Amino acid sequence: MIKIIEAASAERSEILTRDIQLESGVEESVRAIIEGVREGKDEALIAYTEQFDKVRLSSLRVEAEAIEAAYHAQDDVYKETLAAAAENIRAFHQQQVRDGFRMEKEDGVVLGQKITPIERAGLYVPGGTAAYPSSVLMNAIPAKIAGVKELVMTTPPAKDGQIPSFILAAAYVAGVDTVISAGGAQAIAALAYGTQSVPKVDKIVGPGNVFVATAKRMLYGVVDIDMIAGPSEILVIADETGEPARIAADLLSQAEHDKLASAILVTNSRSLANAVSEELEKQIPALWRHEIARASIDTNGRILLVNNIEEAVNIANEIAPEHLEVYLDEPFVWLDKIKNAGSIFLGKYTPEAVGDYFAGPNHTLPTSGTARFSSPLSVDDFIKKTQYISYTKEALQKAKDYVAGFAFKEGLEGHAKSILKRFEK
């Protein structure tokens, strides 16, 4: 059963001190896998797929014809769903596109910044019970809008050796260029270093289990990554007008993800707190993933009692949740006061799930309090900003003494001379 506690109690500190936990015992295994793939390339990737996924593959690449055929094999409702969601995601992320700029000064100085898309990006898509076509759309579409030339998707094969057709259909709609049948740390290593079948990429995005997360962390520097994601989180702010059944359902929408997921209600109404607790007990047994939801609610679920909504917002800013629902009649009153959250869901008819699948904003979000300093996945994750500078002789002459003075102050005589040599007779 979910715990109901006073917000000022010592137990509140348990929520505020969470961080992303990577199992240290996993590192040795992942390091061996990375080196194996780096040395053995395709052969190692096929061997690891047989070892971990119990599938012996004859080819790692999925042919473009097979991807297209998978899309056409879907029913019309699913194809319409993919198209509608993709349209919303494109429309939202198109607003994030930025241009470079150029500044020209009177003395001939030209300064600027140009925007260049990443050449090749890798998208990791989990398999098994965590095969999410929505994540394919959310990760691939911003990359394509940014101008990424090649998007390489890796995902583990099912027991029959095939990638689920509904995942391939999402890849087709999102414009994925290359699909590789491989998962786990070995897929991350293949994307980072390249193999005969897997192109070496510049950045890897997408969620995964602890082996995937550890591999991404260990290979950062060889390749860029989006983030290290922790377990799913939701925090709901509600007052006495909240409907217990709906709030309980919203909490469970994240609790069913993972036994380590956290679901938190912050309210100034004890009667609502009690009613939501009762509703959770009614709804959990009816879920397909009731065992996972049960463990999540019992271990990491909390209802925090506060004096007023302003206090609730302050607590939300401290926790910095991945998903924040403002379940109030006038939610926009509080929007500017919310500083730390991955994504904010405003109003009683904006459940977190609409953001997961359909609304358009990205569902790849910072977790474990990292919303204090990081942002959702966006077009910006797939671009580089490069500065440029041009000085005329006259402009450099005006600046030379300032630049040389700085260089001498820092003890870097060579820097100073590189300026002054240009003006020696």
- Hey, what are 161's tokens? 């050796």
Instruction: Give Cβ neighbours of residue 178 (< 8 Å, ≥ 6 apart).
Output: 61, 150, 151, 152, 153, 199
Predicted model pTM: 0.92
- Using one digit for the tens of pLDDT, what is the confidence trace for 151-195? 999 999 988 889 999 999 999 999 999 999 999 999 999 999 999
Q: What is the CA radius of gyration of the chain?
A: 25
Q: Which residues are catalytic?
A: 322-323
pLDDT of 110 over the 80 cut: yes
Q: What is the mean pLDDT of the chain?
A: 94
Closest CA to 214 of 25, 30, 19: 30
- Using one digit for the tens of pLDDT, what is the confidence trace for 33-87? 999 999 999 999 999 999 999 999 989 999 999 999 999 999 999 999 999 999 9
- Using one digit for the tens of pLDDT, what is the confidence trace for 381-408? 999 999 999 999 999 999 999 999 999 9
Helix or strand (DSSP H, E) at 388: strand 383-390
Helix or strand (DSSP H, E) at 237: strand 233-238
**pLDDT grade for 19, boundaries at 50, 70 and 90:** low
**pLDDT grade for 129, boundaries at 50, 70 and 90:** low
Task: Determine the pLDDT at residue 11.
Answer: 65
- Measure CA 293 to chain center: 22
Task: Determine the pLDDT at residue 411.
Answer: 97
CB count in 10 Å sphere of residue 127: 22
CB count in 10 Å sphere of residue 248: 26
Helix or strand (DSSP H, E) at 263: strand 262-267
Asked whether 391 and 381 are in contact (CB, 8 A), the reply is no
